[in-house]
C-alpha cells in the first residue's frame, strides 16, 4: 500500500490517445487493472481514452472488460474491476479536430474536480508515430500541456523517429512544448523483471562484478529470438525491419545495462549517463566491419510448432520482392578500458526456431596445465540471464564427477522458471505506468541515449539499403541464416543454446 503523501503526488488523470487501439486494449488497460488489483493505483485517479469511433462510456467499458478478461495476469475480481470501470471515460474526437482538444480541456477540468486529481496529467500517445507531433501541438495550442502547480508527463511509444534526422526533428518538436524531464520514452524491455535484475546481479554480487570485464569475459551474446512472424503488423514492419524494430531500442538498451560502469548512485540521471557512455563507445563500423560483422536475414517458408508457415514475402501487406530484414546478427566492440577486445554478439529475428530472450556471458578458458589435458574439451563458465520465457539466472561451472576417478563434468545451476506469459505483457507496462505516476524516469530512454542509438543504427541500416541480398535466406523455424553462425565460428565460438 502506498502512503498518503505519495498517493497525493500520484493523483492524476491519464489521457490515452489511441484508446481503441491494440496497445491500449492488450497492455495498458490490463496493466491498469493489475495496478488496482495490487492496490497501487492512486485513489484520486481517472482515465480518459480518446478514439475516433463513436461510442458511449458504457460500450467502451464493456470492451475494456473483455480485454482485461483476455490479457490480464490476474483474473477478474469484481470489486477491482468496478473500481477501474467507474473511473474510465471515453471521449470521441479526431486528432486533427481542434474542437476536440477544447472538449478535452473542459472535460479534464470537470474530472479534476470530481476526482481531486490536482491538475496532474499523463498524456499517453498510444498511436501511430505520424500523430505524435500533431497531438503535442494540439495539446499546446489548447493550453493542455501545462497546469499551474501540477505536473504533466508525456508518454511516447516507439518508434521514436525512423532515423537520426527524423528522431531529432520529433524531439525538437516535443521540446517546444515539453521539457526533457516530462518526456517518458517507453522501451517496454526495461520494464521486464530480468532487465532490472541486471544491475542487481552485477552490483550486488562480488563474484560477478569483479569478473565483469575483458580480463575474464571471452564474449557476450544477446539474443532476442521470436517464433512469431509479423502477423497483422506487416504495414509497420515492412518500413521498419529488425534493426529499427529491435536493435536500435531494446537491444541497445540491454547492451548498455550489461556493459555500463557502476553509476555513482542509483539516481535516474546517474544511471542514464553511464548507459549513454556505452552506446557512444561502440566501435565504428568501417566498411570492412559492415561486410564481415553484420548479417541480415529474411525468413522463407518453414515449419513452426509442426505447422507450415508462409514466408515473409507472402505475409499480409508485404510486397513480394521485399528486402526488409527480419533477422540481424552483429558482432561489435565497445571501445573502452573495461571491454576492449571482448566481442559482443547480438541477434534478433522473427520466425525463429524458438522464442527466447537471453544474455549469455561466456567466461574465458583456463590454461590447460592442470586439467583439460589429453583430449578433454573445456566447457567454459557461462552466466545466462534468462529474460523470457524462462525467467532467472543460469550458471555453468566445472566440478569433479562423483562417479568416476578424475573426470570433470559441467554442472548447471539454474534458478530460472518457465513463465509462458512473459513477453510483451501488461506486467512490464504495470511497472512502467507506475513509474510514470511516481515521476521515476529511470526505466525510460533519455534523448541523448536515443540519439546515440540512431547514430549507431543508421550506419547499418544504410548499408542494408545499398546492398543486394539473396532473400529469403533462412527457413522459418530455424535459428537464422548460416552466416549468423559463421560470425562466431571464425573465432571458434558458437551461439549458446542452454
Q: Which residues bind ligand BG6 (CB under 6 A)?
A: 226, 245, 357, 423-424
In DSSP terms, which residues pair with 86 in a beta bridge?
none
Query: Whose Cβ is closer to ligand BG6: residue 108's or residue 195's?
Result: 195
Smallest separation, CB 442 to ligand BG6 (Å): 19
- Report DSSP state, residue 265: S
- 377 to each of 71, 218, 397, 407, how far by Cα in Å? 47, 16, 14, 11
What residues does 330 pair with on adjacent strands? 294, 346
Least Å from the CB of residue 424 to ligand BG6:
3
Looking at beta carbons only, is 247 or 460 nearer to ligand BG6? Answer: 247
Query: What's the closest the beta carbon of residue 233 comes to ligand BG6, in angstroms?
Result: 7
**Closer CB to ligand BG6, residue 245 or residue 315?**
245
197-200's contacts with Cβ under 8 Å and 24+ in sequence apart are: 197/385, 197/393, 198/254, 198/257, 198/258, 198/359, 198/385, 199/257, 199/271
CB of 177 or CB of 450, closer to ligand BG6: 450
- Exposure of 103 by Cβ count < 10 A (0-12 exposed, 13-18 middle, 19+ buried)? middle
CA 289 to CA 119: how far, in whole Å?
Answer: 53
Half-sphere exposure of 160 (CA within 13 A, CB side): 31
Contact 28, 188 (CB under 8 A): no
**Residue 77 to residue 85: CA distance in whole angstroms:** 12
Which residue lies nearer to ligand BG6 by CB, 234 or 343? 234
The neighbour count for residue 176, using CB atoms within 10 Å, is: 12
CB 409, CB 392: distance < 8 Å: no
Sign of CA dihedral 21, 26, 31, 32: positive
Paired strand residues for 369: none
> Between 240 and 362, whose beta carbon lies closer to ligand BG6?
240
In whole angstroms, the minimum distance from the beta carbon of 195 to ligand BG6 comes to 10
Distance (Å, whole) CA 153 – CA 145: 9
**Least distance CB 226 / ligand BG6 (angstroms):** 6
Catalytic machinery residues: 250
Quote the least distance from Cβ 357 to ligand BG6, whole Å. 6
Of all residues in the shown chain, the one whose CB is closest to ligand BG6 is 424
Contacting residues for 474 by C-beta, under 8 A, at least 6 apart:
297, 298, 299, 300, 327, 349, 480, 481, 482
Nearer to ligand BG6, 144 or 436 (CB): 436
- Indicate the SS3 state at residue 475: strand
In whole angstroms, the minimum distance from the beta carbon of 422 to ligand BG6 comes to 7
DSSP string, 288-329: HHHHHHEEEE-EEEEEETTEEE--GGGSTT--TT----SEEE
Between 263 and 423, whose beta carbon lies closer to ligand BG6?
A: 423
Q: Tell the smallest beta-carbon distance from residue 389 to ligand BG6 (Å).
A: 9
Is residue 38 within 8 A of residue 73, CB to CB? The reply is no
Amino acid at each position: 500500500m502506498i502512503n498518503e503523501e505519495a498517493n497525493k503526488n500520484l493523483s492524476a488523470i491519464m489521457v490515452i490517445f489511441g484508446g481503441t487501439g491494440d496497445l491500449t486494449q492488450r497492455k495498458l488497460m490490463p496493466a491498469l487493472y493489475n495496478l488496482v488489483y495490487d492496490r497501487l493505483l492512486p485513489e484520486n485517479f481517472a482515465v480518459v481514452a480518446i478514439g475516433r469511433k463513436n461510442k458511449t462510456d458504457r460500450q467502451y467499458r464493456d470492451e475494456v472488460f473483455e480485454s482485461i478478461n483476455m490479457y490480464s495476469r490476474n483474473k477478474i475480481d469484481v470489486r477491482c474491476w468496478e473500481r477501474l470501470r467507474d473511473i474510465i471515460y471515453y471521449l470521441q474526437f479526431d486528432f486533427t479536430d481542434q474542437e476536440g482538444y477544447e472538449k478535452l480541456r473542459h472535460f479534464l477540468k470537470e474530472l479534476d474536480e470530481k476526482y481531486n486529481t490536482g491538475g496532474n496529467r499523463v498524456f499517453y500517445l498510444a498511436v501511430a508515430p505520424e500523430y505524435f507531433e500533431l497531438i503535442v501541438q494540439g495539446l499546446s495550442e489548447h493550453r493542455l500541456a501545462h497546469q499551474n502547480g501540477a505536473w504533466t508527463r508525456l508518454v511516447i511509444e516507439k518508434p521514436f523517429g525512423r532515423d537520426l534526422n527524423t528522431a531529432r526533428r520529433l524531439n525538437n518538436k516535443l521540446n517546444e512544448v515539453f521539457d526533457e524531464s516530462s518526456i517518458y520514452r517507453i522501451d517496454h524491455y526495461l520494464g521486464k523483471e530480468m532487465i532490472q535484475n541486471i544491475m542487481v546481479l552485477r552490483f550486488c554480487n562480488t563474484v560477478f562484478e569483479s569478473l565483469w570485464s575483458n580480463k575474464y569475459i571471452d564474449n557476450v551474446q544477446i539474443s532476442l529470438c521470436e517464433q512469431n512472424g509479423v502477423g497483422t503488423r506487416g504495414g509497420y514492419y515492412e518500413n521498419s525491419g529488425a534493426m529499427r524494430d529491435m536493435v536500435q531500442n531494446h537491444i541497445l538498451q540491454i547492451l548498455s545495462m550489461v556493459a555500463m560502469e557502476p553509476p555513482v548512485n542509483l539516481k535516474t540521471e546517474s544511471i542514464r549517463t553511464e548507459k549513454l557512455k556505452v552506446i557512444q563507445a561502440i566501435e565504428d563500423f568501417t566498411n570492412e566491419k559492415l561486410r564481415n560483422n553484420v548479417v541480415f536475414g529474411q525468413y522463407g517458408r518453414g515449419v513452426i510448432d509442426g505447422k507450415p508457415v508462409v514466408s515473409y514475402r507472402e505475409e499480409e501487406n508485404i510486397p513480394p520482392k521485399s528486402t526488409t530484414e527480419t533477422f540481424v546478427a552483429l558482432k561489435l566492440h565497445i571501445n573502452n578500458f573495461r571491454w576492449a577486445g571482448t566481442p559482443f554478439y547480438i541477434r534478433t529475428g522473427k520466425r525463429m526456431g524458438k522464442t527466447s530472450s537471453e544474455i549469455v556471458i561466456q567466461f574465458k578458458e583456463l590454461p590447460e596445465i592442470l586439467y583439460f589435458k589429453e583430449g578433454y574439451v573445456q566447457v567454459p563458465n557461462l552466466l545466462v540471464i534468462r529474460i523470457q520465457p524462462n525467467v532467472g539466472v543460469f550458471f555453468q561451472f566445472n566440478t569433479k564427477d562423483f562417479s568416476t576417478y578424475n573426470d570433470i563434468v559441467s554442472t548447471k545451476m539454474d534458478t530460472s522458471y518457465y513463465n509462458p506469459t512473459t513477453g510483451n505483457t501488461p506486467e512490464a507496462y504495470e511497472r512502467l505506468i507506475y513509474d510514470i505516476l511516481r515521476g521515476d524516469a529511470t526505466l525510460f530512454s533519455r534523448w541523448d541515449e536515443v540519439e546515440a542509438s540512431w547514430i549507431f543504427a543508421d550506419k547499418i541500416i544504410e548499408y542494408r539499403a545499398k546492398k543486394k541480398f539473396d532473400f529469403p535466406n533462412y527457413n522459418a523455424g530455424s535459428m537464422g541464416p548460416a552466416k549468423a553462425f559463421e560470425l562466431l565460428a571464425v573465432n571458434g565460438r558458437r551461439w549458446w543454446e542452454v
